[in-house]
Chains A and B, each alone.
Chain A
Amino acid sequence: MARLSPDNTILAHEIIARYPKPKSALIPLLHLAQEQDGYVTDEAMRHIAELVGVTPAEVRGTGTFYEMFQFEPVGRYLINICGTMSCALMGADDLMHAAEETLGVHAGGTTDDGMFTLHRAECQAACTEAPCLQVNYRYRFRATPDDVRTLIDDLRAGRLDGEIPPHGTLARTRQHIPADRGVGAVDPDDVTGPPAWVTVDADTSQGAS
């Protein structure tokens, strides 16, 4: 598949409608494309450009700034081993070594069977649980080299399929704003006065500069 599927296109429209300006939906839509195909395809970027009303070059320009977006196929499992200070102090190098040895690739590489891509990552906001890693952005805390080897075995054997979805899938519970409950996004140019609960008096008494 390449363009967003019909279901994903519906979802894309729902996401775009939440923002006062459609371009704000770019990053969420790039994630949607990556979830669909495992990486961001050129066709998906063209589709997103149409949906958001910008040029494909703008979509690529934004997308390439962000590390999570892959523009070439990667493994079904992306293993990110943290190498920033707290993890480094607690033995991150040993984890990386174990992963490289088990997978037979260096950091940055993908295994021949297309199952695993290994990356050296930066701080994952779990520093007290160092050394740590993520597989498709799911954590493993206080990991040992043995844990890394077991993890790779388990992933290969499909034992973690329920817990760890294929690369690209982030939140499996999505936000949904019910039509009868949402306020709806308004283009800032169409807003003239203060919101209903702010009386102009109260606003002035805030002593705004």
Chain B
Amino acid sequence: MSAETYAWAPGFVAGDRPRIVTSRFEYEDSYTLERYLATGGYEGLRAALGRNAADVHEQVRSSTLLGRGGAGFPAGIKWGLTPEGVFPRYLVVNGDESEPGTYKDRLLMERDPHQLIEGCLIACYAAGLSQCFLYIRGEMALAQERVGAALNEAYAAGYVGRNICGTEFSVDIVLHWGAGAYVVGEETALIESLEGNRGMPRLKPPYFPAAIGLYGQPTIVNNVETLANLPFIAANGAEAYTSIGTETSPGTRMVAVSGHVKRPGVYEIINGTTTFRDLLYGEEFCGGIRDDNELKAFVPGGGSAPWFLPDQLDLPFEGRQVGAAGSMLGSGAIMVMDSTTDIPAAALTLTRFYAHESCGKCVPCREGGTWLMRILERIVAGDGTTEDLDLLLEVGGSICPGDMPHAASADLGLEATPFPYKMTTICFVGPSAYVPVHSALTLFRSEFESRVAPVRPRVRIPVTAAGGGA
């Protein structure tokens, strides 16, 4: 068993497992066209171009490839939602990776940009998309350089642009880069941003991007990791893909484990079967909690996901089971807190993030997020009152009315409330400010109670002294 970390791919640990999207990471020059071609590159595209577009689409549909951007929607089905006969259709690649805890798309863009480019081409071919915009997060200078260089190489070699590989298939891939705004990762905000506007989410339904997206045209938005899987599927077939993982969660997944573990890192894991215990404690993964401390809690799917306790360690990395247990897998990011963690302070780091990233379009998010942050700040600073705890829940309730999903706890005698929640906002930024507050307060209420003082009686300052005057 090996768990080698590659110095040129910081954070990445290979291990002894089947790899689909990180298969080239061990080469230091993995981002060059030369290395890509020497390791099977663009063979998936050639295989796809040898068949008709509908067959390639069908192959992806039968692979049940799930979207990796957070929602887990099957890619093949999404491509089929474009209205018949409406052209042009576009592909927008979501490389805006900014969900707290998430680190995989940047690695894929920096380490294997040609794999992503090939994936984009296969998607365009299969779904009849005539131009592709590859939107990379603004703060990722190296990813922009690597993808830019790879596109230049691919254009020169005839893999992108006019008459690809000598066929009728012609598509441009335009590298586009953002300028720092988390909410732009939401697909309709991404489209607004790509149109040159402020990156605010659009109201939907009724209009999903597949029907009305970029410039009002049918638009497929897919995550970087989702697309990076396509060369393998096109080259090896859907069965080779579904033979890894489980029926509901086929293939592999990139997962970033950060926080208080011995070996934080990005791992490509087998989808659906690997458990959280494997990931946190397994020798081929993180090797246990730092300093052999006790595990206190972990966030299983990026900053927006309700928290789990050691009670949930044996759940597999599988969407339905995790949903039933009260959380979500989201973008494949686990953040681990050991017994030394100050829970209210930890929750504040996430709530502050979402409050800060609100685009301001919905009142409950804009106002509520800031309120939650301010109240938490004063609790953490030692200025909170007992009333503040109820106030947190009240403000949260205005963003997410009704039952909030949460984990089960044997110690607290809590049963799980399954995911998802109801919300009063357009997108998930508002609820995400509340999720960490709700999790922390539900699972660790005593840590809040020990920090707040009972409400102090108001100091009375009479305008005139009693009995005085005249």
Which A residues fall within an 8 A CB radius of B? Answer: 18-21, 23-28, 30-31, 52, 54, 61-63, 65-69, 80, 83-86, 88-90, 122-130, 134, 136-139, 141, 169-178, 180-186, 188, 191-200, 202-209
Residues A68 and B195 in contact in the complex (CB < 8 Å), given A85-B346, A194-B128, A198-B128 = no
Do the beta carbons of A128 and B257 come within 8 Å of each other? yes
Known: A27-B179, A84-B350; 10 extra A-B contacts, CB below 8 A, are: A21-B215, A30-B179, A62-B197, A85-B101, A85-B353, A123-B99, A125-B139, A139-B10, A186-B88, A188-B215
Do the beta carbons of B179 and A69 come within 8 Å of each other? yes
A195 to B126, CA, bound (A): 11
What is the minimal beta-carbon distance from A187 to any residue of chain B, in angstroms? 8
CB within 8 Å of A: which B362-406 residues: none
What is the minimal beta-carbon distance from B256 to any residue of chain A, in angstroms? 5
Do the beta carbons of A198 and B53 come within 8 Å of each other? yes
Kindly list chain A residues whose C-beta atoms are within 8 Å of the C-beta of B169: 196-197
Do the beta carbons of A191 and B98 come within 8 Å of each other? no
Kindly list chain B residues whose C-beta atoms are within 8 Å of the C-beta of A30: 179
23 cross-chain CB contacts under 8 A: A23-B197, A28-B176, A31-B177, A61-B198, A65-B199, A66-B181, A68-B180, A85-B100, A122-B356, A122-B357, A125-B139, A127-B103, A128-B264, A130-B259, A137-B138, A138-B142, A169-B141, A173-B145, A173-B149, A183-B131, A188-B217, A195-B87, A197-B168
CB within 8 Å of A: which B256-296 residues: 256-260, 264-266
What is the minimal beta-carbon distance from A140 to any residue of chain B, in angstroms? 11
Do the beta carbons of B346 and A196 come within 8 Å of each other? no
Do the beta carbons of B265 and A182 come within 8 Å of each other? no
Do the beta carbons of B181 and A67 come within 8 Å of each other? yes
**Which segment of B39-47, B67-75, B150-158, B425-433 sits at the interface?**
B150-158
**Option from B152, B172, B197, B260 in Cβ contact (under 8 Å) with A173:** B152
A125 to B199, CA, bound (A): 20
Kindly list chain A residues whose C-beta atoms are within 8 Å of the C-beta of B79: 206
A20 to B181, CA, bound (A): 24
Residues A52 and B196 in contact in the complex (CB < 8 Å), given A183-B161, A196-B170 = yes
A183 to B220, CA, bound (A): 20
**Option from B52, B80, B177 in Cβ contact (under 8 Å) with A171:** B177
Considering only CB atoms, which chain B residue lies closest to A138 in the complex? B141
**Which segment of B15-23, B313-321, B333-341, B443-451 sits at the interface?**
B333-341
Do the beta carbons of A191 and B179 come within 8 Å of each other? no
Do the beta carbons of A178 and B88 come within 8 Å of each other? no
Kindly list chain A residues whose C-beta atoms are within 8 Å of the C-beta of B97: 125
Interface: B249 (CB within 8 A): no
Kindly list chain A residues whose C-beta atoms are within 8 Å of the C-beta of B422: none
Do the beta carbons of B54 and A203 come within 8 Å of each other? yes
Considering only CB atoms, which chain B residue lies closest to A132 in the complex? B10
**Option from A86, A141, A183, A197 in Cβ contact (under 8 Å) with B167:** A197
Kindly list chain A residues whose C-beta atoms are within 8 Å of the C-beta of B155: 177-178, 181-182
Do the beta carbons of B299 and A85 come within 8 Å of each other? yes
What is the minimal beta-carbon distance from B253 to any residue of chain A, in angstroms? 15
**Option from B80, B196, B256 in Cβ contact (under 8 Å) with A128:** B256
Kindly list chain A residues whose C-beta atoms are within 8 Å of the C-beta of B178: 27, 66
What is the minimal beta-carbon distance from A157 to any residue of chain B, in angstroms? 22
Do the beta carbons of B196 and A89 come within 8 Å of each other? no
A182 to B173, CA, bound (A): 9
Residues A125 and B197 in contact in the complex (CB < 8 Å), given A182-B161, A198-B53 = no
What is the minimal beta-carbon distance from B255 to any residue of chain A, in angstroms? 10
Nearest 4 A-B pairs (CB), nearest first? A66-B179, A67-B180, A23-B196, A26-B196
Residues A89 and B182 in contact in the complex (CB < 8 Å), given A126-B10, A178-B155, A209-B81 = no
Interface: B84 (CB within 8 A): yes
Do the beta carbons of B170 and A195 come within 8 Å of each other? yes
**Option from B57, B127, B141, B148 in Cβ contact (under 8 Å) with A175:** B148
**Option from A66, A69, A128, A175 in Cβ contact (under 8 Å) with B103:** A128
Do the beta carbons of B180 and A62 come within 8 Å of each other? no
**Option from B152, B162, B299 in Cβ contact (under 8 Å) with A183:** B162
What is the minimal beta-carbon distance from B25 to any residue of chain A, in angstroms? 14
Most chain B CB within 10 A, of A83, A173, A176, is at: A173
**Option from B53, B139, B177 in Cβ contact (under 8 Å) with A28:** B177
Interface: B467 (CB within 8 A): no
Do the beta carbons of A206 and B102 come within 8 Å of each other? no
A198 to B11, CA, bound (A): 41
A76 to B152, CA, bound (A): 30
Do the beta carbons of A125 and B172 come within 8 Å of each other? no
Do the beta carbons of A134 and B139 come within 8 Å of each other? yes
A198 to B101, CA, bound (A): 40
Do the beta carbons of B172 and A184 come within 8 Å of each other? yes
Do the beta carbons of B88 and A195 come within 8 Å of each other? yes
Interface: B303 (CB within 8 A): yes
Considering only CB atoms, which chain B residue lies closest to A66 in the complex? B179
Interface: B230 (CB within 8 A): no
Do the beta carbons of B88 and A89 come within 8 Å of each other? no
A129 to B107, CA, bound (A): 12
Interface: B122 (CB within 8 A): no
Do the beta carbons of A206 and B217 come within 8 Å of each other? no
Kindly list chain B residues whose C-beta atoms are within 8 Å of the C-beta of A174: 148
Interface: B193 (CB within 8 A): yes
Do the beta carbons of A27 and B152 come within 8 Å of each other? no
Do the beta carbons of A85 and B195 come within 8 Å of each other? no
Kindly list chain A residues whose C-beta atoms are within 8 Å of the C-beta of B198: 61-62, 65
Do the beta carbons of B11 and A126 come within 8 Å of each other? yes
A63 to B138, CA, bound (A): 13
